[in-house]
A and B are shown apart, each in its own frame.
Chain A
């Protein structure tokens, strides 16, 4: 029995390898053999791969959470070895990782199933499955890493998957612009990230998490400084953490590297749900939580994280209020929620950030997939100004989206309530530099979230129908005029609604059973390290008396009333008084212009980096290369001209003449050399 238990409750490397590789195999089959396996075969291959991964992830999660399995930390193979610098591929599976694996594989599986319906009419069906399975592989590789090398490999491969998927409809110029933009902005973040990794290797002598985190306990390492600019000693952990966090700002779309995420909505909707809401964009949050032993050493880096997160949380949410594209509203909401997670990291409430990551993954995937369901019903029109009153046509979508939105606005009792309210309270408890500003931002953000969420629901599902139903004229499928449908919108098929329902369940309920252990019960154990002085969650935990008490308490809190105010304003403007919005737009024109133009950040970047970069390059090329260098080469050497004259004479057109001349030249050269040297030697 003991032997059986030992085997049963120890995580096996084989299982982990299957978890990672199954989606890769599925993706390769779907991609490379797309002709042989056909549409159904490709879908099956990818879904089986991801389903296998998902089931085994749940199994590993169970082993860790209830089976008492020890943390798994082993290398699979050595990637490069230079002396004692070993770089490996390996897995570190603890509760933090296991939670990520479950979230990633579960949401991914839902999205795979949803894709069957959503992409049914698309020519690139197999290609799509191969990309999303490839993404799942990369994301799991990232989460399961036991070292910075593999983290970075996964980090970049998810970037690749995101690039391929944003540009999935590669005939659209806007899509291939957006994917290039996304990759390049992410690369700016990775510029910092790779330097952070280099710093880790240099100052801690290893890329292995376990070794690095053990070294952080040594006070010598914590106190070490470096003078990159002479005369300014900086703490090495601050340098490392700020660099690593710049990477996270790229991937998790924090201000000022947030500009790529709204444009990424050019990709098909399942992708927006999977990559650009639930999983990939949370990689930065996960990374910071994973490296919490490093971040805990640097108060300055955490303040940096806090201020960036708070700014993102409020200011990107504001843009969401003026968007009319349903997906873009949800996209800006994602940016804002990522800001909340980052704020949590910034006040050392890593568990809170990761917890919000989890709840957000469910309800935001739900909102995106719901938006996708609406988009299908509207024949791929995404403009909410041409929707309205859809609730009666598609009740399942409407109800699940309401549930998802209630979770998003942190209605007491919903999953988002537990995670978001605790972040806000944690910020209130914190005395870190920047926490006052952050507290204002996250509080104001509650109102903003409520405003754009209910605006979306009203404009989409309620009020007057702003589309026209016209039966098709003349049979053939023609391009639709926006807002004109051939038949009334209808509820989506089961492959779409079932994932919605399955995601709605955790969106509503998951907080009840998880909040106590994950945030206050030390569930994450050694995966996350918080210095006792910074442990705001512990303070909150003393006042926490179970989810029910917390929910009831929630109704008396300021945040609840702020959210309710947002709900009231949204209801007033977008449900009861249509036309008020237009009036408000006119009175508040400067603010409206600022929000619609996204604070002109994109325009600034376009001028500065795109046009500036091309102009700079052209200057260097024409002036530097062609002007100065070649000018010197061509101009100064009249010999070249003379030689050319000779060559023109020799240029008889016969190859062997050239060859002969060359060989003669070489012989003369070598002969001359020999002669000279022999003379000197003699």
Chain B
């Protein structure tokens, strides 16, 4: 027995929660518990998607549709495939964890913070759940608002610069996407993604549309060279903001490539795949070196996110050459699956890394690597978790980070061993910047009195990190349930890619 409007519930329940919490501004303690209740309820409801999604049924499930703007033929249309289910469950889980972990971190304007978080949750679920391009665009833009507030109001000293950079960068990109959507609407008279995917488009149209989409999504991912907003945004964001930014918001970019670029402009995607692949490879190597020399932990992890998200774009765009040039749809599926697993995995790993940095920041109020050292002595539990997530970050087998990188490298090799050679450099450089960080922070002698006095994890922090750890290890040891969930959608996508639109 499924709830008939489950997707709507998942969107509007947290948004309703945010309004309720906003009304509790004078009572922060109550606001916290109410937020927790809403976040927990949303998460539990989202589990129904996971259990209820029929892997052998039709591709789109939990479908809802209402006329929305009749004049534009835009609909309030929802529906999910396995890819969306995975991302939605990740979203609700990440928000639940953020609500729990912000308990001790946010002391000031609690209700507003919680309300922003809940609103963001609803909007992000909306992004992944809608099948209408205009509705997608609304959610896509709307998610900037709560994030803008979170960084702008609870951020660090340079938060105005960071928020503006963040906002203008992403807004700049999405304008082009909007133009592309309007063009497609004029062409088809609809806003449904299915209609866009079915629309015949010639090579010139596709090229323009392709780059318009790239402008929108590449900045979100973010891809080299439009990544420079991310380190600044992370550095200024409070922990919860960083976790959501890294774990979920970046995924919207990769999701956009899969939902828009590939099905709507497959020929242009194939023609210009080399641009994306080149940029991804540069990101893996260049950003790896840049991450190596960061002195601020958050910047380091932010740069590492850019390098890891490059595996998402690499896996997605390698698929085109595999399908079209090599006639190797199996390799293409491996690549896209790898990209998708990387999205989920990176959600856990980067979320956990930022949560760990938050734990340290709460105690010492500094993000500089040089201020720490020898944490394994005052904080053994923390050290264990941090080392685990660090190894996940450098793709150790048994953790989720390995699964995706391994699949993408295997797929890339089928296109070109040289691409695989460059991508696999992450094994070295990723380990170098991550484990050097571990060495400086966790190991060695205790460097100062303040470090010696740091308290180990409290139960709340312990629970949050443990949940992240379970996710990382579960996907690492047994990724099959996750890939099986997404397999029908991936297979369908790869079939679409094989068909030219002219």
Interface size class of A (residues with CB under 8 A): 35 or more
Q: Does B470 contact A (CB under 8 A)?
A: no
Cβ-neighbour of A82 out of B292, B337, B424 (below 8 A): B337
**Those of A57-104 within 8 Å (CB) of chain B:** 77-85
Q: Is the CB of A160 within 8 A of B160?
A: no
- Cβ-defined partner of A644 (8 Å) among B160, B376, B491: B160
Decide: A614 and B293 in contact? CB cutoff 8 A.
yes
Given the known interface contacts A84-B330, A195-B421, the answer about A677 and B72 at a Cβ–Cβ threshold of 8 Å is yes
Name which residue of chain A comes closest to B224, CB basis. A629
Q: Is A167 in the interface zone, CB < 8 Å from B?
A: yes
What is the chain B residue whose CB lies nearest that of A77? B478
Is the C-beta of A30 less than 8 angstroms from some C-beta in chain B? no
User: For the complex, what is the distance from the CA of A624 to the CA of B224, rounded to whole Å?
Assistant: 11
Measured in the bound complex, the distance between the Cα atoms of B152 and A651 in whole Å is 11
- Residues of A near B479 (CB, < 8 A) are 79-80
| B403 contacts the other chain (CB 8 A) | yes
Least Cβ distance of A237 to chain B in Å? 14
Per-residue B-contact encoding for A153-177, CB less than 8 Å = 1, 0 else? 1011100100100010011010011
9-residue interface stretch from A294-302, A371-379, A497-505, A661-669: A661-669
Minimum CB–CB distance from A143 to chain B (whole Å) comes to: 15
Candidates A85, A226, A640, A681; contact of B164 at CB < 8 Å:
A640
CA distance A677 to B396 in the complex (A): 51
Within 8 A of B (CB), among A650-682: 651, 655, 658-659, 662-663, 666, 669-670, 673-674, 676-678, 680-681
Residues in chain A near residue B425, CB distance under 8 A: 191
Name the A residues within 8 Å of B329 (CB-CB).
Answer: 83
- Given the known interface contacts A82-B483, A198-B409, the answer about A669 and B141 at a Cβ–Cβ threshold of 8 Å is yes
Nearest B residue to A654, CB-CB: B153
Residues of A within 8 A of B374 (CB): 170-171
Q: Are B445 and A157 in contact (CB under 8 A)?
A: no
Say which residue of A85, A153, A195, A647 sits within 8 Å of B417 (CB atoms): A195
Residues of chain B within 8 A (CB-CB) of A149 are 406
CB distance from B282 to the nearest CB of A (A): 10
A79 to chain B, nearest CB (A): 6
**Given that A156-B397, A191-B425 are contacting pairs, would A80 and B293 also be in contact in the complex, using a CB cutoff of 8 Å?**
no
Report Cα–Cα, A163/B396, bound state, in Å: 12
Interface flag for A633 (CB, 8 Å)? yes
Tell me if B236 is interfacial: C-beta within 8 Å of chain A.
no
Interface-located stretch among A182-190, A277-285, A459-467, A575-583 = A182-190
CA distance A156 to B490 in the complex (A): 29
Instruction: Check A81–B480 contact: CB distance below 8 A.
Output: yes
- In the complex, residue of chain A having the shortest beta-carbon distance to the beta carbon of B433: A617
Using a CB-CB cutoff of 8 Å, which residues 131-157 of chain B contact chain A? Answer: 138, 141-142, 145, 148-149, 152-153
- Which residues of chain B are within 8 angstroms of A191 by Cβ–Cβ distance? 424-425, 427-428
Which chain A residue shows the least CB distance to B153?
Answer: A655
> CB of B418 within 8 A of chain A?
yes
A184 and B435 in contact (CB under 8 A), knowing A170-B376, A198-B413, A624-B290? Answer: yes
Q: Does B333 contact A (CB under 8 A)?
A: yes
Task: From B398, B445, B491, give the contact of A173 (CB < 8 A).
Answer: B445
Nearest chain-A residue to B491 (Cβ)? A83
Chain B residues with Cβ below 8 Å from A220 are none
B428 A674 Cβ-Cβ under 8 A: no
The residue on A at minimum CB distance from B293 is A617
Indicate which residue in A655, A673, A680 contacts B109 across the interface (CB closer than 8 Å).
Answer: A655
Residues of B within 8 A of A155 (CB): 397
Provide the residues of chain A in CB contact with B316, threshold 8 Å: none
Shortest Cβ distance from residue A193 to the other chain B in the assembled complex, whole angstroms: 9
Contact: A187 with B337, CB < 8 Å? Answer: no
Interface hub of A176, A618, A669 (most chain B Cβ within 10 A): A176
Residues 317-359 of A at the B interface (beta carbon under 8 Å): none
State whether B480 touches A198 (Cβ < 8 A).
no
Q: Do the beta carbons of A187 and B428 come within 8 Å of each other?
A: yes
When chains A and B are docked, how far (Å) is the Cα of A184 from the Cα of B292?
13
Kindly state the separation between the CA atoms of A666 and B178 in the bound complex, as whole angstroms. 13
Q: CA A614 – CA B484 in complex, angstroms?
A: 41
CB distance B435 to A677 under 8 Å?
no
The one of A176, A187, A663, A666 that contacts B439, using a Cβ cutoff of 8 Å: A176
Measured CA separation A633–B165 after assembly (Å)? 9
Determine if A625 is an interface residue (Cβ-Cβ < 8 Å).
yes
Establish whether residues B112 and A644, one from each chain, have CB atoms under 8 Å apart when the complex forms.
no
Min distance, Cβ B154 to any Cβ of chain A, angstroms = 10
A658 near B413 (CB under 8 angstroms)?
no
Instruction: Identify which of B109, B145, B290 contacts A620 (C-beta below 8 A).
Output: B290
Do A79 and B478 touch (CB < 8 A)?
yes
Distance (whole angstroms) from the CB of B331 to the closest CB of chain A: 8
**CB proximity of A624 to chain B, nearest CB, Å:** 7
B479 nearest in chain A by CB position: A80
B217 at the interface (CB under 8 A from A): no
Complex CA distance for A570 and B99, rounded to whole angstroms:
70
A241 at the interface (CB under 8 A from B): no
* CB of B1 closer than 8 Å to a CB of A: no
Contact between B420 and A643, CB atoms less than 8 A apart: no
Chain B residue nearest in CB terms to A632: B225
Q: Kindly state the separation between the CA atoms of A201 and B410 in the bound complex, as whole angstroms.
A: 8
Question: Chain A contacts of B413 at CB under 8 A?
Answer: 195, 198-199, 201-202
Interface string of B350-369 (1 = CB under 8 A from A): 00000000000000000000
Check A512 for interface membership: any CB of B closer than 8 A. no
Measured between beta carbons, the chain B residues less than 8 angstroms from A199 are 413, 417
Complex CA gap A618/B412 in Å reads 29
Contact A81 B439 (CB under 8 A): no
Question: By the criterion CB–CB under 8 Å, are A85 and B330 in contact?
Answer: yes
Q: Establish whether residues A157 and B428, one from each chain, have CB atoms under 8 Å apart when the complex forms.
A: no
Contact A171 B145 (CB under 8 A): no
In the complex, A494 has a CB within 8 A of chain B: no
- B357 to chain A minimum Cβ distance, whole angstroms, is 19
Closest B residue to A156 using CB positions: B397
Closest beta carbon of chain B to A571's beta carbon, Å? 44
- Complex interface: chain B residues within 8 A of A239 (CB): 417
Q: Which of the residues A81, A170, A659 comes within 8 Å of B444, measured between beta carbons?
A: A170
Q: Which of B148, B289, B374, B420 has the most CB of A within 10 A?
A: B289
- A79 touching B480 by the CB < 8 A rule? yes
A residues 206-238 touching B (CB-CB < 8 Å):
226, 228
The answer on a CB contact under 8 Å between A629 and B225 is yes
A85 touches which one: B72, B334, B442 (CB < 8 A)?
A: B334
Complex CA–CA separation, A250 to B374 (angstroms): 29
CA distance A77 to B490 in the complex (A): 22
Any chain B CB within 8 A of the CB of A630? Answer: yes
CB closest chain-B residue, reference A190: B427
Which of chain A's residues have a CB closer than 8 A to the CB of B178? 673
| Nearest-Cβ distance from residue B402 to partner chain A, whole angstroms | 8
- 8 Å CB contact of A184 from B185, B417, B432: B432
CB distance from B165 to the nearest CB of A (A): 7
Q: How far is the CA of A681 from the CA of B152 in the complex (A)?
A: 39
Contact check, A680 vs B186: say whether CB atoms are below 8 A apart: yes
Say yes or no for A525: interface residue by CB 8 A criterion: no
17 further A-B pairs in the complex, CB-CB below 8 A; given A187-B431, A662-B145: A82-B407, A84-B330, A149-B406, A153-B402, A188-B428, A191-B428, A194-B409, A201-B410, A202-B331, A620-B290, A633-B228, A655-B153, A658-B149, A658-B153, A669-B141, A674-B71, A680-B186
18 A-B pairs whose Cβ atoms sit less than 8 Å apart in the complex: A79-B478, A79-B480, A82-B407, A85-B334, A180-B439, A184-B431, A184-B435, A194-B409, A195-B409, A201-B413, A202-B413, A613-B432, A616-B289, A629-B228, A633-B165, A651-B160, A658-B149, A663-B145
Seen from chain B, the residues whose Cβ lies within 8 Å of a Cβ on chain A are 69, 71-72, 109, 112, 138, 141-142, 145, 148-149, 152-153, 160, 164-165, 168-169, 178, 182, 185-186, 225, 228, 286, 289-294, 329-331, 333-334, 337, 374, 376-377, 391, 396-398, 402-403, 406-407, 409-410, 412-414, 417-418, 420-421, 424-425, 427-428, 431-432, 435-436, 439, 442-445, 478-480, 483-484, 487, 490-491
For the complex of A and B, 8 pairs with smallest distance between CB atoms: A198-B413, A617-B289, A153-B397, A617-B293, A176-B443, A617-B292, A170-B443, A621-B290
